Amino acid sequence: MLFARGKRPDRADLSACAAQVHTLGFVQAGSSDGGAGDDALSPGNPVWAELLRDGLTFDLCGLAPGPASDFPEVMHRFDLAEMPTPAGFDAVAVMAGPHLASSARSLPVIRGMLGHACDMIRHFDDLAAISWGPSRSMIGRQFFESVVTAWLDGGAFPALGLTAFVQAPDGALQSVGLDYWIGQELRIEPPLSADRVTATRLGIRLVNQLVLAGRVEADERIISPDGSRLVLRPSRDRATISVWRE
C-alpha cells in the first residue's frame, strides 16, 4: 500500500481505524526486533501491527514512526496517470500472519488480505495506490477498491490488476500473475492475438473463468464471445494454457 510521503499511519491511526471499521480489529503493535509497546515504537525500529479481519490475523509492516517497507518493483499500472515513485510515496506492506503461512495462498486468506486493503483505502485518504506483487501491478485506489469489493461481494474476478497481460516476442498475449491463483499462465496464440484489444478482452473473460474453475489439465473447447470455437491446451509441463482458434 502506497501512502503519500510522510503520511503513513502509526499505531494511533490504526486504532482509530479499527474503531470505525467493524470488519477490522487492532490486536497489537511492536517492532521487528521483538519488542512491543511504546518503547519499541521509535523511528529507528521497523514497526508492525497485527490486525484481525474475519477471524484471520494479518501483519502490517512499515508503519510510522519506523522506516517504510521496501518500495515495490512494478511493470504495469491501472487507473494511474503515472507510476508512483519512492520520491513521492512510502510503502506499507500487508501479509498473512505467521500462523497462516502454510495457507497464505488459500482463497479465504487472500480475500481477507485484499478486503483489509479495501478497508484501509476507505479510511485513509492518503493511501494512493495498491501494489499487487504476483502481477507486478500498481493499481489506483478507487479502481482497486471498486473492483475488489465487487469481487468480494460475488462479482467478477478483477483480472485487470490482480493479473496483467504482456505481448510475447512472437505476438502472443500472455498473462502475468495468473499462476499465483491457479498455478498456470494463459497464452493467447497468434493469429488470435493479432487484435490486442479483442485479445485482452478475451483474456479477461478466460482469467475470470479459470480462477473459478481452476487448472486446465487436458484440452478444453469453449465458444468465444464472437461465436468462434476455441481450444484451451495445457503445455507439456502444465505451466501454460495456450488458446487457439479451432
Extract long-range pairs of 231-240: CB within 8 Å, 24+ residues apart.
232/206, 234/184, 238/183, 238/184, 239/179, 239/183, 239/184, 239/185, 240/174, 240/184, 240/185, 240/186, 240/187
Sheet holding 240-245, edge to edge: 164-167, 173-176, 185-188, 240-245, 229-234, 220-223
> pLDDT in tens for each of the 246 residues of the chain?
999 999 999 988 988 988 888 777 766 666 655 544 554 455 568 899 998 888 889 999 999 999 999 999 999 999 999 999 999 999 999 999 888 888 988 999 999 999 999 999 999 999 999 999 999 999 999 999 999 999 999 999 999 999 999 999 999 999 999 999 999 999 999 999 999 999 999 999 999 999 999 999 999 999 988 889 999 999 999 999 999 998
Rounded Cα distance between 60 and 63, Å, is 7
The reported pLDDT for the residue numbered 32 is 57
Tell me the β-bridge partners of 89: 4
- DSSP symbol at 234: E
Count of other CB atoms within 10 angstroms of residue 125: 11
Give the C-alpha distances (Å, rounded to integers) separating 28 from 4, 44, 145: 24, 19, 26
Residues whose CB falls within 8 Å of the CB of residue 100, separated by 6 or more in sequence, listed in order: 56, 57, 109
The pLDDT value given to residue 53:
86
